[in-house]
Structure 1
Amino acid sequence: MELYFELKTLQLKETFSIAYGNYDKREALLVELSYLNFKGYGECVAIDYYQINLKSFIRKLKEIQPLLQKQSIIHPTEFFAILSELHLHPFLMSALDCAYWDLFGKLENISFTELNDIPAESLVESSVTISIAAIEDQISKIKKSSWNRFKVKCKGLNQDHIGQLLRLNRHIALDSNASFTDQDCLWLQENEMISRFSYLEQPRPIGNYKILSKESFTNWMADEDCQNLNSLEKLLPYYKSVNIKLMKCGGLTPALEMIRKAKELGYKVMIGCMTESSIGISAGCVLAGLSDFADLDGAHLISNDYASGNFVENGKIILSGKPGLGIVLK
């Protein structure tokens, strides 16, 4: 098996504004695993608030390259067990895990959904992100959009803006990226009208969730608070929903386990994304059949997508049905 990797720059169509900052581009690391002329692809991106350093990932890939290139083809879960012994960052592990699932499916000539008995029909629709702006501009974007579901970014709570968004009578979620105060959270979860939002994502900084109540009117959704399988039980009294992102948890293999455990515990599950090309989005899309919500608009937000595969069109998740993850470089 051969390993190839390359840095890429993802250019955003417009400035992406969230509570953490403003972004015009994202740096990405493409990972390619190949065998017998078949190629599988994975990707991870540099997110500053996760303190991701792609150059350190490249150094690690160079270090483990001889080991991976000696590796014979085995089942992806067995390959993931080998990765787990290498002390990799979850973002890098996700890129390798997804690339291997893509390669394995292509070698076996079977799609990821078929390999894992995941529904591929009647999939939940994805939201599209509305970044921080004047409320009039956010509302204008929603009204003009051909998408049906929206995740509206905000920085802090403005009660008047909440009312304006609810009056649109659309499928809207709020994501404050941890910018709400305890007082904001109390106000939100004590107001019945807030139940009309699809969910409210990561209201407080990591670890500051004990003000939240899952028994309230609000569908609180954990993002940064929910990093891996071990997060689920401790968050149960506070959150109704969890956002599972492949890069956070380490790839498709642990994501499958997380989804199954989350469902057992009674959570609603969203398969989410960061700013990613169609490599990352193709991987996320294959889990839509197990999800209650989806936020897979990452490739929609960039202007220089360098791959194709599974995709999202006006919110509708479309699976190619091709072997592996169906990823092809342009």
Structure 2
Amino acid sequence: MELRFELKQLYLKETFSIAYGNYDKRDTLLIELSHQHCKGYGECVAIDYYQINLQGFVLKLKEVQAQIEAQKIIHPQDFFKFLLNLNLHPFLLSALDCAYWDLFGKLENKSFIELNNLPSENLVESSITISVGDIYHQIKKIENSSWNKFKVKCKGLNKSNVEKLLQLNQNIALDSNASFTGEDCIWLQENPDVKKFSYLEQPRSVGNYNILKKESFANWMADEDCQNIDALEELLPYYKSINIKVMKCGGLTPALEMIKKAKEFNYKIMIGCMTESTVGISAGCVLTGLVDYVDLDGANLIANDYASGSFVENGKIILSQQPGLGIELK
């Protein structure tokens, strides 16, 4: 098996504004694993609020490259166990795990869906993200969109803006990226109209969720508070829903385990994404038959997507029919 990797940049179609800041581009690390003329792909993205250092990832890959290339072709579950011994950051672990699933499926001539016997019909539609901005500009974007579901970013709570969004009679979620205060959360979860929002994502900074009440009018959804499977039990009294991102939890292998455990706890589950190319979005798409919400618009927001595979069109998940994750570079 051969390992290759390359630093690239993803350019956004327009400035993306969230509570953490404004972004025009994202740095990304593309991983390629190849064997017998088949190539599998994975990626991870530099997200500053996750403190991701891609240059550090490159150094780590150079350190472990010989060990990875010496591995025989084994089942992806076993390959993941090998990867766990390399002490990798979850984002880098995810890129390698996804690349290997893609490669293994192509070698076996079977899709990830087939290999894991996953549902692929009647998939939940994805939302599209509306950046932080003037409320009337946000509303205009929603009204002019061909998508049916929306995730509206906000920086802090503006009660008047909340009321304007609720009046739209659209499928809308709120994502404050941890910018709500305790008082904001109390107002939201005690307001019956807030039930109209499909969910309210990561209201407060990491670890400050004790004020949240699961059995309230707000469908609180954990994102940064829910990094991996270990967080699920602790968050139970506070959150009804969780956002599982393949990159955040360490890959497709742990994502499958996390979904299984979350269902046992009766969480509502979303498959979400970062700013990602079709390489990353294809990995998320294969899990959408297992979940309640989908937010996989990452590749739709960038101008220079460098891959093809599964994709999202006006919110509808279009699964690749090719082996593995169906990823090919353009």
TM-score range with shorter-chain normalisation? over 0.9
Distance 2:291 2:256 in 1: 11
Paired letter, 2:272 = G
- 5+ residue gaps, structure 1, are none
C-alpha displacement at 1:38, in angstroms? 0.1
Report SS of the residue matched to 2:229: coil
1:76 aligns with 76
Match of 2:187 in 1: 187
What SS class does the counterpart of residue 6 from structure 2 fall into? strand
CA distance in 1, matches of 2:311, 2:9: 20
Letter in 2 for 1:315: G
Deviation digits for residues 172-202 of structure 1, max 9, x if unmatched?
0000000000000000000110000000000
- Aligned equivalents of 2:171, 2:133: Cα separation in 1: 19
Instruction: Give CA deviations for 1:124-153 in whole Å, capped at 9, x if unaligned.
Output: 000000000100000000000000000000
Tell me the TM-score normalised to structure 2 length.
Answer: 1.00
Partner of 2:17: 17
User: What residue in structure 1 maps to residue 320 of structure 2?
Assistant: 320
Once residues 121 and 323 of structure 1 are traced to their aligned partners in structure 2, the CA distance between those partners, rounded to angstroms, is: 17
**Distance in 1 between the 2:73 and 2:133 partners?**
49
User: Would you say 1:153 and 2:153 are equivalent positions?
Assistant: yes
Q: Which SS does the other structure have where 1:139 is aligned? A: helix
What root-mean-square deviation, in Å, do the aligned CA atoms of Structure 1 and Structure 2 show? 0.4
Amino acid of the structure 2 residue aligned with 1:324? G
Cα separation, 1, equivalents of 2:285 and 2:291: 10
Tell me by how many angstroms 1:320 deviates. 1.3
Cα distance per residue 1:237-276 (max 9 Å; x no partner): 0000000001111000000000000001000000000000
- Matched with 2:51 is 51
Give secondary structure in 2 for the equivalent of 1:106: helix
> Hey, what does 2:245 align to over in structure 1?
245
> 1:53-84: CA deviations, max 9, x gaps?
00000000001000111110000000000000
2:30 — aligned with what?
Answer: 30
User: What are the residue-to-residue correspondences of 1:272-287 with 2, within 5 Å?
Assistant: 272-287=272-287
Q: What are the superposed Cα offsets for residues 289-328 of structure 1, whole Å, 9 maximum, x if unpaired?
A: 0010000000000000000000000000000121000000
1:5 is aligned to 2:13 = no
Measured after TM superposition, the shift of residue 41 of structure 1 is 0.0
- Report what 2:302 is aligned to: 302
- CA–CA separation in structure 1 for the residues paired with 2:216 and 2:146: 32
Q: Distance in 2 between matches of 1:275 and 1:289?
A: 22
Number of the residue aligned with 1:289 = 289
Which residue of the partner structure matches residue 178 of structure 1? Answer: 178
The alignment partner of 1:230 has SS state of: helix
1:60: which partner in 2? 60
Is 1:231 aligned with 2:228? no
Show the counterpart of 2:90: 90
> Which residue identity lines up with residue 73 of structure 2 in the other structure?
I
Q: Which residue pairs with 2:218 in the alignment? A: 218
Q: Distance in 2 between matches of 1:242 and 1:69?
A: 35
> Number of matched residues?
330
What TM-score comes out, normalization by structure 1 length?
Answer: 1.00
Query: How far does residue 51 in structure 1 lie from its aligned partner after superposition?
Result: 0.4
Residue of structure 1 in register with 2:127 after alignment: 127
Q: Write the distance in 2 (CA, Å) between the matches of 1:120 and 1:328.
A: 20
Residue 20 (structure 1) shift: 0.2
What is the one-letter code of the residue matched to 1:234?
Answer: E
Residue number in structure 1 paired with 2:42: 42
Q: Secondary structure at the match of 2:146?
A: coil
Looking at structure 1, the residues matched to 290 and 318 of structure 2 have their Cα atoms a distance apart, in angstroms, of 15
Q: Does 1:263 align with 2:248?
A: no
